């Protein structure tokens, strides 16, 4: 296996790591406004029976609303605490993938970042605002302050995976490209605009990745919480999983008929089987296996995408030329130095990641959250 192939495979590993780890905390962010309300039965049982006699007094409605808001905030804090130790570390996968692309395949990096400049800028702004929400929502105990940062978290959790899905699907489905000559060297460059990225198959790819992250996040919450949040997360995971399965099959068939190879079809078929197995495990209360199932689904989808790219870095749309890996790669000396660096630092990064998840493996519940007087609480 030559160094170009090694680094292409390593990029697939980095993207898999990013979408598996960041995918579940995107899903948790999406579920904040869905799982922050308690079930009716448990809420009534939690309130004193005397509360039923207060309905005739004007204060009762205010007290009930205040109690519901406090409960909602506590549930949100519980959900955010499950990803608190992990979300910033999960983004290291994306930074590493970007840095590795820049160093190993500079022409790929330049073409992708220039052609998708506005989309990637929007992704960057979205991630920044989402991260600010996770960091700053607990800095003040003002209800409006918390509400606005929660909006940033929820919106960012939807928009970011959608943009990632659109970008990766465009690389496989094909971009409008043109070839330029500089002396005796031919350079393949992007020849389109922002609207060129918003094709039906790219939008379907964005929706599929978003739905997969939602399902993945619901499985994570079911695995990491107890009580009503766990029960409702399992219910949401089943419904979201079925939607994801429909979208994924449509996407796989669409891309497979255009770019599919035998290996890619096998990877896509196994991804679909893993997703169905995750749904089945979730319905039986096997949250751990359900989470493994969606993780495998995401990983195999990335594998299928990269198999449909090979031997290119970017497929050309229609009659457009392809940007090949060989044309996009750095010099052999650069790849050799990077390979030795990866051999040293990749095991360290993986070991630290595994250690972090092991340390914070405990389930959480609303009872673990300290009581606060106002609705505005810590994100971690």
DSSP string covering 261-322? -HHHHHHHHHHHHHHHHHHHHHHTT-HHHHHHHHHHHHHHHHHHHHHHHTTEEEPBSTTPPP
Assess whether the previous peptide bond of 32 is cis (omega < 30° from 0).
Answer: no
Spans in the chain with pLDDT lower than 70: 1, 38-68, 181-187, 368-369, 371-380
Which of 267, 255, 29 has its CA nearest to residue 127? 29
Tracing tokens 């579940």 back to the chain, one arrives at: 24
- Confirm if 23 and 302 have CB atoms less than 8 A apart: no
The whole-number pLDDT of residue 184 equals 55
Which of 254, 269, 274, 257 has its CA nearest to residue 304? 269
Tracing tokens 């692309």 back to the chain, one arrives at: 101
Tracing tokens 């978290």 back to the chain, one arrives at: 153
- Confirm if 280 and 299 have CB atoms less than 8 A apart: no
The whole-number pLDDT of residue 364 equals 82
The whole-number pLDDT of residue 65 equals 56
The whole-number pLDDT of residue 361 equals 86
Tell me the whole-structure pTM to 2 decimals. Answer: 0.87
DSSP tag of 367: G
Q: Tell me how far apart the alpha carbons of residues 258 and 338 are, in angstroms, rounded to a whole number.
A: 34
The whole-number pLDDT of residue 49 equals 42
The whole-number pLDDT of residue 117 equals 86
Rg, Å, the chain Cα set = 23
Q: Tell me how far apart the alpha carbons of residues 97 and 120 are, in angstroms, rounded to a whole number.
A: 14
Which of 328, 286, 256 has its CA nearest to residue 8? 328
């Amino acid at each position: 296996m030559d160094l170009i192939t090694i680094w292409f495979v390593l990029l697939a590993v980095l993207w898999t790591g990013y979408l598996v780890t960041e995918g579940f905390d995107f899903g948790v962010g999406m579920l904040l406004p869905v799982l922050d309300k308690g079930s009716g039965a448990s809420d009534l049982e939690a309130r004193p029976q005397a509360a039923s006699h207060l309905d005739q007094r004007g204060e009762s409605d205010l007290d009930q609303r205040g109690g519901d808001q406090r409960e909602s905030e506590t549930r949100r804090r519980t959900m955010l605490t499950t990803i608190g130790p992990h979300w910033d570390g999960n983004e290291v996968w994306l930074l590493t993938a970007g840095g590795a692309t820049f160093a190993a395949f500079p022409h790929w990096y330049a073409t992708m970042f220039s052609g998708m400049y506005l989309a990637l800028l929007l992704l960057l702004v979205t991630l920044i605002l989402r991260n600010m929400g996770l960091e700053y929502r607990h800095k003040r105990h003002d209800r409006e302050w918390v509400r606005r940062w929660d909006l940033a978290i929820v919106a960012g959790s939807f928009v970011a995976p959608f943009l990632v899905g659109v970008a990766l699907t465009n690389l496989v489905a094909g971009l409008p490209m043109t070839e330029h000559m500089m002396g005796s060297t031919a350079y393949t460059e992007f020849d389109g605009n922002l609207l060129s990225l918003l094709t039906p198959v790219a939008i379907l790819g964005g929706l599929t990745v978003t739905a997969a992250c939602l399902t993945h996040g619901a499985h994570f919450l079911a695995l990491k919480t107890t009580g009503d949040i766990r029960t409702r997360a399992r219910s949401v995971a089943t419904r979201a999983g079925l939607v994801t399965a429909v979208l994924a099959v449509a996407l796989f068939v669409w891309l497979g008929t255009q770019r599919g190879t035998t290996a890619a079809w096998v990877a896509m078929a196994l991804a679909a089987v893993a997703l169905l197995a995750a749904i089945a495990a979730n319905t039986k209360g096997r949250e751990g296996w359900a989470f493994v199932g969606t993780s495998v689904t995401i990983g195999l989808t990335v594998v299928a995408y990269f198999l449909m790219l090979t031997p290119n870095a970017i497929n050309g749309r229609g009659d457009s030329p392809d940007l090949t890996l060989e044309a996009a790669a750095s010099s052999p000396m650069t790849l050799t130095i990077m390979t030795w660096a990866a051999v040293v630092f990749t095991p360290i990064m993986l070991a630290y990641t595994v250690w972090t998840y092991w340390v914070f493996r405990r389930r959480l519940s609303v009872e673990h959250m300290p009581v606060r007087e106002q609705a505005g609480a810590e994100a971690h």
